[in-house]
Amino acid sequence: MDGEKVTNEFDYVFCENGVVQYRQGQLKSSESILSYIGESTLQRVINFALGYMSKLELPAKRGNFVEFRSSMINICPVGRSCSQAERDEFSVFDTQHKVRAKFVDALQKEFKDSKLCFALGGQISVDVFPKGWDKTFCLKHIEGENFTEIHFFGDKTSLGGNDYEIYNDERTKGHTVTSPENTKEQLKKFLNIE
């Protein structure tokens, strides 16, 4: 499904933690990490991350180690250009050796006086974003809409994961999922769909 179709099909679409917000197909707001932290801090983070990753010995390394997005910087030790098999191999290696957890610790130590947060992102990466720009950011866009329940489904719901804050937010009911298929099954069960 392409992006325009998604924004037109749903009442609310929150991209990049809600930093980019669509309502009834119309772009309502968009913010940028670059405007928020500035080029100097952005380059310091990227330079530190590239230096740190250059010293890692991993099962594989491919291209696209740093991806700049509106709301965050996504840093990937194995490289986002890895194949699915290399992604899976890195995930197992990371589980055993805590590569990303150690990387997050190093980033937190290096940038402890900054206004940045660091969290495990997805299966292979680390997310870098301004404090308050975690996934709870999108909730501010629906305050006053009188929703009786807001459900969130995520896979990185433990402390240090990029779903932790919204999963544990008092405004949401959090659900931990393990895969797209598991998400589908939980939704079917929750909605009483056969």
193 or 124: whose pLDDT is higher? 124
- For residue 3, what pLDDT is reported? 64
- For residue 105, what pLDDT is reported? 97
Entry pTM: 0.78
- For residue 35, what pLDDT is reported? 93
Average pLDDT value over all residues in the chain: 93
> Residue 18, exposed/middle/buried by CB under 10 A (0-12, 13-18, 19+)?
buried
Euclidean distance between CA atoms 104 and 194, whole angstroms = 41
Euclidean distance between CA atoms 37 and 103, whole angstroms = 21
Residue whose C-alpha is closest to residue 162's, from 139, 136, 190: 136
pLDDT, tens digit, 9 for 90 and up, residues 16-75:
889 999 999 999 999 999 999 999 999 999 999 999 999 999 999 999 999 999 889 999
| Percentage of the residues of the chain whose pLDDT score is greater than 70 | 98
- For residue 91, what pLDDT is reported? 96
- For residue 161, what pLDDT is reported? 83
- For residue 42, what pLDDT is reported? 94
Q: Could you tell me if 186 and 177 are in contact, meaning their C-beta atoms sit under 8 angstroms apart?
A: yes
The residues near 176 (Cβ < 8 Å, ≥ 6 apart) are 154, 155, 157, 167
pLDDT, tens digit, 9 for 90 and up, residues 79-116:
999 999 999 999 999 999 999 999 999 999 999 999 99
Tokens of 22: 């669509």
- For residue 43, what pLDDT is reported? 96
- For residue 106, what pLDDT is reported? 98
Helices (H), the chain: 3-9, 33-54, 84-97, 99-110, 164-168, 180-190
Beta pairing, strands 116-121 & 26-30: unpaired
Q: Does the structure show a pLDDT above 90 at 160? A: no
Euclidean distance between CA atoms 53 and 40, whole angstroms = 20
70 or 182: whose pLDDT is higher? 182
Q: Does the structure show a pLDDT above 80 at 2? A: no
Cα 51 to Cα 45, 55, 177: the distances in Å are: 10, 7, 34
Tell whether the torsion through CA atoms of 73, 79, 85 and 87 is positive or negative: negative
Q: Could you tell me if 45 and 61 are in contact, meaning their C-beta atoms sit under 8 angstroms apart?
A: no
Q: Is 93 helix (H, G, I), strand (E, B) or coil?
A: helix
